[in-house]
């Protein structure tokens, strides 16, 4: 296919099936129903068409606020960006992403965030947009359950999205982070209901646990004020038996460049707004990316 001028627009109601087909082709079936039933809004959707049919798509998810030092900025998460295989390499995806960013700022959002699905995509997005890597994650991978290291056995209790948000904000009070809405954490709860897992409070900590289609257990967010997380990890691995666990938790600034620290999200601010991480010793926290 030759390169051509790419037309972007909002999806039509009759194209919902086509959007579902793109989702299933690129991401599989997990999460599609939860997204289109609970998050999808045509005013926050952009497609790129080829011969009148959707070839690529992307969405804005109102994520709440980006909180950093004295700044509290309305935040738009770019999500579900996908191009059908036959149309890759022709600029469809890049056009959709840039249109989403422009739309988000025109709609009053002051921060745009994105969590690339692969590390190599950071350079791609930095090249085609002004998004820059800004959020990091400390990741712990295990291929077996572990036992508690102390005699203080911990218990995990499932909690509602409302309670989870309340506890989450207490733990993230002094850390630059995305302050999620009830709608987005509610969407995460529906993903947990669909795939397995849940929102948990464990002592003074909280965690989002999700079972991936291939059986791995992802702890998409583990927040605590304690430096030692071994008992928390033991508690979760006791709840869910698997041969792979991935724990994501905030990292310290010195983690960057060391095996555990990696890029997790990108940020772009409305023109004229500038921020810095401030005095926090902890790296900016993205939280669940609904991946």
Query: What's the confidence (pLDDT) of residue 276?
Result: 79
Helix pair angle (92-106, 121-128), 10° resolution: 60
Handedness of CA 108, 277, 64, 251 (dihedral sign): positive
pTM of the model: 0.92
Q: Who contacts 89 (Cβ-Cβ below 8 Å, separation ≥6)? A: none
Q: What is the pLDDT of residues 145-198, one digit of tens each?
A: 776 565 567 889 999 999 999 999 999 998 999 999 999 999 999 999 999 999
Q: Rounded to 5 degrees, what angle do the CA atoms 96, 101, 102 make?
A: 100
3-state secondary structure (DSSP) of residue 93: helix
Encode pLDDT of 17-39 as tens digits. Answer: 999 999 999 999 999 999 999 99
The pLDDT score that the predictor gives to residue 3 is 56
Name residue 133's beta-bridge partners: 266
pLDDT at 123: 96
**The pLDDT of residue 154:** 84
Per-residue pLDDT of the chain (291 residues; tens, 9 = 90+): 555 689 999 999 999 999 999 999 999 999 999 999 999 999 999 999 999 999 999 999 999 999 998 899 999 999 999 999 999 999 999 999 999 999 999 999 999 999 999 999 999 999 999 999 999 999 999 987 776 565 567 889 999 999 999 999 999 998 999 999 999 999 999 999 999 999 999 999 999 999 998 899 999 999 999 988 999 999 999 999 899 999 999 988 666 554 457 899 999 999 999 887 766 778 899 999 998
Domain residue ranges in the chain = 7-134+261-269, 137-249
For 63, the 3-state DSSP assignment is strand
The pair of structure tokens assigned to 289 is 């990316």
CA distance 116 to 98: 15
Q: Label residues 243-279 b or e (16+ Cβ within 10 Å = b).
A: eebbbbbbbbeebeeeeebbbbbbbbbeeeeebeeee
- Please identify, in words, the CATH class of the domain defined by 7-134+261-269: alpha beta
User: What DSSP element (H or E) covers 64?
Assistant: strand 53-68
Please report the pLDDT score of residue 258 as a whole number: 47
Same fold, 7-134+261-269 and 137-249: yes
CATH for the 137-249 domain, from 3.90.1150.10, 3.40.50.300, 3.40.630.30, 3.40.1390.10: 3.40.630.30
Structure confidence at residue 255 (pLDDT): 60
Task: Tell me what pLDDT residue 278 has.
Answer: 67
């Amino acid at each position: 296919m030759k390169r051509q001028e790419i037309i972007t627009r909002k999806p039509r109601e009759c194209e919902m099936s086509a959007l579902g087909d793109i989702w299933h082709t690129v991401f599989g079936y997990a999460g599609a129903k939860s997204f289109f039933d609970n998050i999808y809004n045509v005013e926050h959707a952009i497609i790129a068409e080829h011969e009148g049919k959707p070839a690529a798509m992307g969405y804005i998810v109102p994520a709440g606020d980006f909180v950093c030092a004295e700044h509290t900025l309305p935040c738009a998460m770019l999500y579900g960006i996908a191009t059908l295989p036959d149309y890759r390499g022709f600029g469809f995806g890049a056009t959709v992403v840039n249109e989403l960013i422009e739309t988000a700022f025109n709609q009053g959002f002051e921060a745009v965030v994105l969590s690339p699905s692969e590390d190599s995509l950071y350079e791609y997005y930095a090249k085609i947009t002004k998004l820059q890597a800004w959020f990091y994650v400390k990741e712990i991978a295990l291929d077996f359950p572990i036992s508690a290291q102390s005699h203080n056995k911990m218990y995990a209790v499932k909690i509602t999205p409302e309670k989870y948000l309340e506890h989450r904000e207490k733990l993230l009070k002094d850390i630059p982070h995305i302050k999620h809405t009830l709608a987005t954490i509610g969407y995460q709860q529906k993903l947990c209901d669909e795939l397995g897992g849940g929102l948990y409070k464990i002592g003074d900590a909280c965690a989002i646990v999700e079972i991936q289609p291939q059986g791995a257990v992802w702890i998409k967010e583990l927040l605590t004020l304690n430096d030692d997380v071994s008992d928390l990890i033991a508690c979760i691995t006791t709840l869910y038996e698997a041969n792979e666990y991935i724990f994501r938790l905030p990292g310290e600034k010195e983690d960057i460049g060391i095996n555990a620290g990696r890029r997790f999200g990108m940020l772009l601010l409305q023109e004229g707004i500038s921020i810095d991480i401030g005095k926090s010793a902890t790296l900016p926290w993205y939280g669940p990316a609904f991946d």
